[in-house]
Structure 1
Amino acid sequence: MVDIKSWIFKDCCLVFSLLCISIVGITTGDQEVLTNSWLVELSEGGEAAARDIAKRAGFSYVSPVLGSDTEFHFIHNAVPKTRFRRSILHTRKLKSHPFVKRAVQQTGFVRSKRGYKPLKGVLLSDLHINNPEIGQLINDEKDVVIGKDPTDPLFDKEWFLKNRGQSGGIKGLDLNVEAAWGMGFTGKGVTTAIMDDGIDYLHEDLKYNYNSEASYDFSSNDHFPYPRYTDTWFNSHGTRCAGEIAAARDNDVCGVGVAYDSKVAGLRMLDQPFMTDLIEANAMGHMPNIIDIYSASWGPTDDGKTVDGPRNLTMRAIVKGVNEGRNGKGNIYVWASGDGGQEDDCNCDGYAASMWTISINSATNDGQTAGYDESCSSTLASTFSNGKSTIRDAGVATTDLYNNCTTTHSGTSAAAPEAAGIFALALEANRNLTWRDMQHLTVLTSKRNRLFDPYLKHFWQYNGAGLEFNHLFGYGVLDAGAMVYMANHWKPLPERFHCTAGSIKKEMNFGTNEPITLTIDTDACKGTDNEVNFLEHLQAFVTVKSSYRGNIVMHLTSPMNTTSMILSQRPNDDEHKNGFTRWPFMTTHTWAEAPRGTWTLRVENIAGKNNEYDDGLFREWTLVLHGTRDPPYHHQDADEENQTKLFKVKRMHDMAMKN
């Protein structure tokens, strides 16, 4: 568990200068957008005083912020929800009260759904129930039972659950959920919150698996997160994601969810012109002891030129969630890696690139990366989205608005909920899993399978610990059967530590095809309270700019000779003033490696589409190691297929401990 005292308060300077990201390159325009929401902090009086102050000042009291008894959310209904000037008089009126320490009008920023396409669904009356197939699940040694396929009418089209080669796919290239079901795990007792545009909780395939207690509408500030109607069905996104996780089994409606006995909660928060830090934070911190998993299929605009991430309150919500959520075991945050394609990089998305979220990319039904997939070194694993667009029913089949079904859900929006469903199966198998356990299980049980890059840019390789990874797919496609088996036998991990390995502050110029190379030699805090001998996440906080930011490319090489591309070329990013300011580029590629030795950062400007010369200026690099002092896997057990992987890592760890 992240020790919030030693990590945040003990090293306050590091947190607020590094973790609370410097937000640059926001593409909502040059003019600041203001909303009708205020963050109000009181010196005393608590909620009763907050309600009274709001009423006297003409505001509406909304709620505490993250359960605080000093910070509160107010709105003013007479102020437009979107405006371009600060409401100074309203702020002054709040500040005039002696209990008010500060009152901050919330700025608005853009958050986009991923994979949205304005296509209507399929009417239930148009569907025909398929005859169930009787099949035998593969692994008898894992206590897998013989069972029937689900009888739901769209199950045969859910190739990501059982790939028989339909819709042009490759047989066996799926999530292996039947093995987990066969072991008796279907998600019972686990709740996943869909942070999105609402859920059609009246849908026949969702209503019995809907957790109303844990649901909330942060757009309307009520307990009924039903999607707002539009002619284009724009607000079908959350309902589609929910069905992938928890659509009921054998009820003759649509398909079946990955964790069909689990619950879903709706947190409606995307359905507004602009997002605020308050809404994001309150959604991510909503009922953290009832909600186990938060699934997000959205983020900063995937336009290849935005660099953006969580603000202060939202960062606090996520850190609080992994420290205190699930009664101290930590909430699981699942994030869609992004749909910006080859011209974007998800390490420029501060949500997907956070070490406290599990970033999920997608693959097609024949193992390729989809054209819209972003790549980055922070991606941990992959699931599936749509297959070939030219083939009928190659999309993701799931629930749709107004009791309908669809077979056209797509994008990494479709990938993240599949991962959330698998994590729900693992949590049922072992309710004691922490947020860190889930990330370790993801690394250890994901498979290369048939995944490949059709553009031949990113190949599979082994890191220094013997773990196979790919820049596009992370550690491979999630395997529900293997994850549930290992979760059921999982032993607690050693304590996690955080080591500032070194820092370089020096102005250095670099031009097009004139790279600079910097090195940091570290003992990984050996002999101190923060000693790290085996890595989990690695962060490089970098300050750098260029006359064309999108042409900056950076590679980071570990002492065990694993190279991560922590920033790729983004040809549409023409920003030239600010660049990156202490931006936390993160890699998971060095997972389980020994970090002691020389780390090398290579920074360069790659020639752009116009072949113009670009001037770059490097200012700072700080290297932060996150991991354990003791070997994490020596007492772990796995199924037969994963024992070889574990053996390689344990052998490397034994050698590292001897040195």
Structure 2
Amino acid sequence: STNVEDDVDDNTQTTNGAGIWHSNWYGFGIVNAMGAVEAAMNWKPFAEELQAIGISNEENKELSDNDGNQFTSTINMDPTGDNYPDDFVAESTVVLLDLSHYNRGDLEIELESPSGTISMLHPGKRPENNELEGEERWNLMTVKNWGENPTGTWKLTVRDLVDRVDSADKNIFRNWQMIVYGHSASGKDGFSVDDNTDDGPLISAFCLNPSAPIAGCALDKNGDFTCPLGVTYTVGDLSLILDAKLKCPNDLIISEKIEATEASQMGYCDCHG
């Protein structure tokens, strides 16, 4: 890419924790067409996509209207503790917010990475973003952390910028989750047989049923469960061990033909009969 560092009107230019220049106006720079073609001729694909998941504590905090206060919550991420490569680098980061607010467009939301990079996920005062419906989660994303090491403390800051009351219901921030999508800088796989020595062959078929929610797990709008480490779901003689680094589609049948290690590598759940 070609940097656009001579735009005197752009005050959003920063360098992230990986030393990569970024602008809220121009992203990572204007594409250099000739450079892109030359790079494509010798391009080496990234390693497989990895997903590191973090879940906050239950907060259940009331958000006050435009009183100068701000709410902060943190998540500690350690991908290597979940058997990910030690050179895991971020590509994009998704934040899933669980909150009740009569007009979410009033909220200013920032995410600070362990490297100190601050991403403005939502600038506030956006009247088109109204109340969330039912159990809907609010999904926000940033790519500003590209190339950073995600290990450490991530901080979410929420401010209500508008002083008005359109509803008698309180504005409550319940919790949040984050998913860091990335890859191994040296091309390592996310899992290996040696990393999953406790996995045995699957001895039974099983399908996650969205009508029977798993305690401690969250169902997102795509129909996927994200679960904290160590949650166990038991049906009959089959116990399903749900791991924080895996997403479990509720319509997926895992059969006896798939080894548990393979299921992990494919992004399914670890199963033990």
Could you state the TM-score of these two structures normalised by the residue count of structure 1? 0.26
Cα distance, 1:478–1:520 mapped onto 2, change above 3 Å: same
The aligned counterpart of 2:3 is 447
> Deviation of residue 578 (structure 1)?
3.4
Q: Is the 8 A contact 1:465 1:591 kept in 2?
A: yes
Correspondent of 1:520 among 59, 70, 75: 75
The aligned counterpart of 2:24 is 471
The aligned counterpart of 1:321 is none
Question: Which protein is richer in helix relative to its size?
Answer: 1
Identity rate of aligned residues, in percent? Answer: 25
CA displacement 1:448-498 (0-9 Å, x = unmatched): 25446x4x6x42000000101112221121110121122222223222211
Correspondent of 2:161 among 599, 606, 610: 606
Could you state the TM-score of these two structures normalised by the residue count of structure 2? 0.59
Correspondent of 2:106 among 551, 563, 573: 551
State the alpha-carbon separation in 2 of the partners of residues 501 and 508 from structure 1: 19
Give the 3-state SS of the residue equivalent to 1:499 in structure 2.
strand
Cα distance, 1:574–1:565 mapped onto 2, change above 3 Å: closer
Given residue 474 of structure 1, which amino acid in structure 2 is its aligned partner? G
Q: Is the 8 A contact 2:56 2:74 kept in 1?
A: no
Of stretches 493-502 and 568-577 in structure 1, the one that deviates more from structure 2 is 568-577
State the alpha-carbon separation in 2 of the partners of residues 492 and 590 from structure 1: 20
Q: Which has the larger radius of gyration?
A: 1
Q: Is the 8 A contact 2:53 2:178 kept in 1?
A: yes
Asked whether 1:495 is paired with 2:48, we answer yes
Q: Is the 8 A contact 1:497 1:531 kept in 2?
A: no
Asked whether 1:485 is paired with 2:41, we answer no
Q: Is the 8 A contact 2:125 2:161 kept in 1?
A: no
Q: CA RMSD in A?
A: 2.6
The aligned counterpart of 1:593 is 148
> Deviation of residue 538 (structure 1)?
0.8
Question: Which protein is richer in strand relative to its size?
Answer: 2
State the alpha-carbon separation in 1 of the partners of residues 16 and 86 from structure 2: 21
State the alpha-carbon separation in 1 of the partners of residues 130 and 118 from structure 2: 27
Q: Is the 8 A contact 1:448 1:477 kept in 2?
A: yes
Alignment of 1:149-168 (within 5 A): none
Q: Is the 8 A contact 2:87 2:186 kept in 1?
A: no
- Which runs of 5 or more residues in structure 2 are unaligned? 188-273
Given residue 503 of structure 1, which amino acid in structure 2 is its aligned partner? S
Given residue 500 of structure 1, which amino acid in structure 2 is its aligned partner? I
Cα distance, 1:576–1:626 mapped onto 2, change above 3 Å: closer
Alignment of 1:128-167 (within 5 A): none
Cα distance, 1:450–1:580 mapped onto 2, change above 3 Å: farther
> Deviation of residue 630 (structure 1)?
3.2
Give the 3-state SS of the residue equivalent to 1:564 in structure 2.
strand
State the alpha-carbon separation in 2 of the partners of residues 584 and 565 from structure 1: 13
Cα distance, 1:532–1:475 mapped onto 2, change above 3 Å: same
When the two structures are aligned, how many residues end up with a matched partner? 182
Alignment of 1:80-479 (within 5 A): 445-448=1-4, 450-451=6-7, 454=9, 458-479=11-32
State the alpha-carbon separation in 2 of the partners of residues 574 and 493 from structure 1: 36
Given residue 501 of structure 1, which amino acid in structure 2 is its aligned partner? G
State the alpha-carbon separation in 1 of the partners of residues 145 and 81 from structure 2: 19
State the alpha-carbon separation in 1 of the partners of residues 85 and 42 from structure 2: 29
Correspondent of 1:617 among 172, 182, 193: 172
The aligned counterpart of 2:58 is 505
> Deviation of residue 624 (structure 1)?
0.9
> Deviation of residue 621 (structure 1)?
0.5
Cα distance, 1:595–1:529 mapped onto 2, change above 3 Å: closer
